[in-house]
Chains A and B, each alone.
Chain A
């Protein structure tokens, strides 16, 4: 019997990463700007998607992949009611979406017709950060009632972001939330991060966010 040490040097999530790369290739070929929308449960992911649809209807064709741990289609139904195609992915209790789940969701969407795809990830601030989906942008929604300490408690997700949305700013008068403290934490983890402060209730700030989407999707088509 002999003992050998075998060098491997393979990224542990490399299988996910290679499927993510294939997803990205499809988004690029069909010129669909794809967004991975992450947040804790209740931060307002579905609300932001519905506001985005309302603002962009007639300008961009949008599709949605809804990730949920439970086999409920509540969020997908709301998107379809708003007039855009949506597929529901049930993760079977898993705490995050991964690239193969997106691949299977894409089979049920008319990707060639879409300018924009929004993926609503599972509500969680830890696990989704570890799984690349192949989307063009990682977006996190932080909402005011969650408190101002979340960047300090969930640094990994903040480090990987392309955009931060601060939602429920209409609640600032009622909730103890130190915006300077929050932004200092964000700046330490992701200097210069593009940030939009919005309210889905009053509509404040939504246009800046949707303008960003329009601009990025136009850049992809050049």
Chain B
């Protein structure tokens, strides 16, 4: 699985932004993950606990914000939330669908600690 490469990338991005902000520690990492994305968050968490050791991100909690799959029907124009993969338009039964949301995968924000007295 490619979750190791993905987790390494999360760590690199988080540590880079934390270092630039003068952080002493990262406490939380917020990841936005579309429902259509094939990433398995359990295995990201598994790798995370191993590879984040002895970095600013050691012990940080990963939060996965799952974005629902919203589709637009190209035939009847209706917008709907797709609850299961490969479901047709609930109005007209068409499969001619465009993804409006649900394929995102990005690091949204991090929460960090800094030494007191440091300027923002």
Contact = CB atoms under 8 A, between A and B. Distances in A.
B21 A4 contact: yes
Contacts, number: 112
Contact of B96 (A3, A129, A155, A191): A191
Contacts of A155: 36, 85-86
A13 B107 contact: no
B109 A152 contact: no
Interface in A112-162: 126-127, 129-131, 151-152, 155-156, 159
Contacts of A5: 109-112
Residue picked from A129, A130, A159, most chain B C-beta under 10 Å: A130
A7 B115 CA distance: 19
Contacts of B115: 1
- Give the dominant DSSP class at A's interface: mixed
20 contacts: A1-B113, A7-B108, A8-B13, A8-B108, A9-B109, A10-B107, A12-B107, A13-B6, A13-B9, A14-B13, A94-B5, A95-B2, A96-B5, A126-B38, A152-B86, A155-B86, A159-B99, A184-B95, A188-B95, A191-B97
Nearest to A157: B38
B61 interface: no
A131 B17 contact: no
Contacts of A105: none
B41 interface: no
Interface of A: 1-16, 94-96, 98, 126-127, 129-131, 151-152, 155-156, 159, 184-185, 187-189, 191
B interface, size bucket:
35 or more
B17 A187 contact: no
B107 A188 contact: no
A128 to B, nearest CB: 9
B112 A3 contact: yes
B91 interface: no
Nearest to B111: A5
Nearest to A127: B2
A7 B105 CA distance: 15
A4 B114 contact: yes
A184 B88 CA distance: 11
A146 B22 CA distance: 53
Contacts of A151: 86
B10 to A, nearest CB: 6
B86 A188 contact: yes
Contact of B109 (A8, A129, A184, A187): A8
